Amino acid sequence: MYSSTSISTAIKQPETLHNLAFGIVIALIFVTLIMFFCVVLMRLYFNKIKNYTRLIYQKDIDFQKALNATILETQEQILNNISQDLHDDAGQQLTYINFQIENLRLDSPNLHSILEPVSQSVANLSESVRSISHSLNNQLITQQDLLKSIEAEIERIRKNAKFTITLTINDNPKKTFGTNEKIVIYRIFQEIINNIFKHSKATEVIISIATNPYFEMFISDNGKGFDFENPSNKTAIGLKNIVSRAAIIGYTLTIASSTGNGTTITLSQNTN
């Protein structure tokens, strides 16, 4: 026969186990809530850091764009001043020199054959100065059709170039360019051609421009090429500058070159 104490102990054991289980459940719930709260805090913290980093990065991009735009504006002002000086000073002096030569030819007919090539050379130089003056003046660039301006510049280059230039343009339907687009695209084109003149030793240059569905300009030469990643390479430094310039108008400039294999440069409009 069981004593009363044994019966009481037997009754209390289920209650104790029940209380223990309940305590464990409460503890687990409490720990889970703490962990969940920690996870939420960590996510909020990381999101805050991410947003802050994005904000700093965007501010850095905006600052860089503003700086590049300021540099571009300064460069354009300098080029406009040079253009004006060439037109008003050098151009007028060449015109005056040619006028003197013509007077000398009239006064001394026996010198006609000698002065004729000199007069023609001065006239050609005057025309070249005039063309260069126009190509440096961004007001003329913005007033004219961009692709026509590029064609005119290529015609001028062909007169003095030591390489063959092939140009292909596909502008159907005709694209309308913004003012900044015109200036930046034209200056990038000039810089690339100038680098080919000075450094490439190319015999052939191929230029292809398409405007639809978006703008792309390919300029390829068969010159000596260069190492674009070499920080001491002057050609690479100049081209890195125009990479930044392209970004101002939302374009991307890619350069493919290696020593002995020529260079291909692509300027393309970002589509995102």
CB 90 within 8 A of CB 131: no
Cα–Cα dist 124/122, whole Å: 5
Residue 181: partners with Cβ closer than 8 Å, 6 or more residues away: 146, 249
Which 3 state secondary structure label does DSSP give 164?
Answer: strand
| Residue 66 token pair | 């503003």
DSSP letter at 177 equals P
Out of 3.40.50.300, 3.40.640.10, 3.30.565.10, 1.10.10.10, select the CATH number for domain 145-272. Answer: 3.30.565.10
Residue carrying the six token digits 């939420």: 40
Give the DSSP H or E segment for 10. helix 4-85
| Residue 22 token pair | 């309940």
Per domain, the residue ranges of the chain are 1-136, 145-272
Rounded to the nearest 10 degrees, the angle between the axes of helix 112-136 and helix 4-85 is: 150
pLDDT in tens, the chain (272 residues): 445 555 455 555 566 666 667 777 787 787 787 887 777 777 877 777 777 677 776 666 565 666 566 666 666 666 666 666 665 666 667 676 777 777 777 777 777 777 777 777 777 777 776 666 666 666 667 778 889 889 988 888 887 777 899 999 998 888 888 888 888 898 899 889 888 888 888 899 999 999 988 899 999 999 988 876 665 665 666 677 788 888 888 899 998 888 888 899 999 998 76
- Residue 256 backbone phi and psi in degrees, to 5: -120, 115
